[in-house]
Structure 1
């Protein structure tokens, strides 16, 4: 059974920090593939600076097309909103019964994981791959020594989509922060200006 890591995000825009983390997990863990799950625009919380779903999907597609183990995933675009991760995971299990899905998250998310809707069900069905953050956090006791929770040594990337959008708006050169095809699409479409 192929093991697929699910890396959720708005990817607004998809940048080299996302790429480095996803590729590291694909190359240095037992995960066979990483699917980058693009979080849709919430109909209840319209954000002016959030690109439309199809544009963010295109950015992830262009940023990963040279990496055979990385794939964009738009499963959440088809689910009713608001959506919970547990529903997305159930949908993927039903659609791809031949795959084992794991959830990728930062240490900061693990701290509040017990507050997620149906977190016990998620943990019953899925492994969690935890990425370190710049600021160290204390992992809750209930998650320590859990065989389904894997602490990874992914590089800590201090790059944010927010910073990239601000830099574009102020005319700064952000090319080193984006995979070349992603930069070309953003430049061609005049995004974030």
Structure 2
């Protein structure tokens, strides 16, 4: 029996926005993936932790954003892992806990350019398939010897960033069109990001 293909979409999701949903939805419907799991990261080793909304709040927003999508799930697996968490450790743990599933890493073209800075990056690309999506201004080159396990996916380029959302909220802008309605409601009700 063929294993279910699960795309792993790691990120801070600070906050989760429509760009994330568009990409994950595309990956589910137009690639080999059966589902996409959003892995909410407590701290990205290549980013500053300062300015991160509380882990549980970001998790709640992600859960609310995805509650009506059957193929999009949320994972808090990194909350119980040593910090900072590393993608190879997360994928290995997910694989050991879910032997009936095959996990595939979803990666932006910007992160592919920095991939050699990742922990055990050679083992990571040997042990797991990788799907790379385009980012504006990033040219993606996949060496021929890696083409069997690493693929470039011509997903729509949606130039919305969580930084843009946070800055806009801080400036009092109405960004409801950029956010899932449930997430926008949570942010407005609780005043997240407005005083950052």
- Pick aligned residue for 2:114 from 101, 106, 112: 112
Structure 1 residue aligned with 2:35: 33
Structure 1 residue 9: Cα displacement:
0.7
What CA distance in whole angstroms lies between the structure 2 residues aligned with 1:120 and 1:42?
19
CA contact (8 A) 2:86 2:119 kept: yes
| Count of residues paired in the alignment | 191
Shift in alpha-carbon separation, 1:140–1:124, aligned structure 2, 3 A: closer
What CA distance in whole angstroms lies between the structure 2 residues aligned with 1:162 and 1:116?
22
CA contact (8 A) 1:41 1:53 kept: no
Structure 1 residue 146: Cα displacement:
1.6
Structure 2 residues without counterparts, runs of 5 or longer: none
The within-5 A match list for 1:31-180 is: 31-41=33-43, 46-47=49-50, 49-139=51-141, 141=143, 146-180=147-181
Structure 1 residues without counterparts, runs of 5 or longer: none
String of CA shifts for 1:106-165, please: whole Å, max 9, x gaps: 112222323322122212221100001110325264x66521011101110111111111
CA contact (8 A) 1:107 1:139 kept: no
CA contact (8 A) 1:75 1:88 kept: yes
String of CA shifts for 1:8-62, please: whole Å, max 9, x gaps: 110000000001001110111110000001110479x541x31100000011101
SS at match of 2:39: strand
CA RMSD of aligned residues (A): 1.9
Q: Give 4+ residue runs of structure 1 displaced > 2 Å after superposition.
A: none
Report the TM-score when normalising by structure 2.
Answer: 0.91
Structure 2 residue aligned with 1:187: 188
What CA distance in whole angstroms lies between the structure 2 residues aligned with 1:131 and 1:89?
19
What CA distance in whole angstroms lies between the structure 2 residues aligned with 1:120 and 1:80?
21
Shift in alpha-carbon separation, 1:153–1:42, aligned structure 2, 3 A: closer
Structure 1 residue 84: Cα displacement:
1.4
String of CA shifts for 1:86-118, please: whole Å, max 9, x gaps: 111111111111100000001122223233221
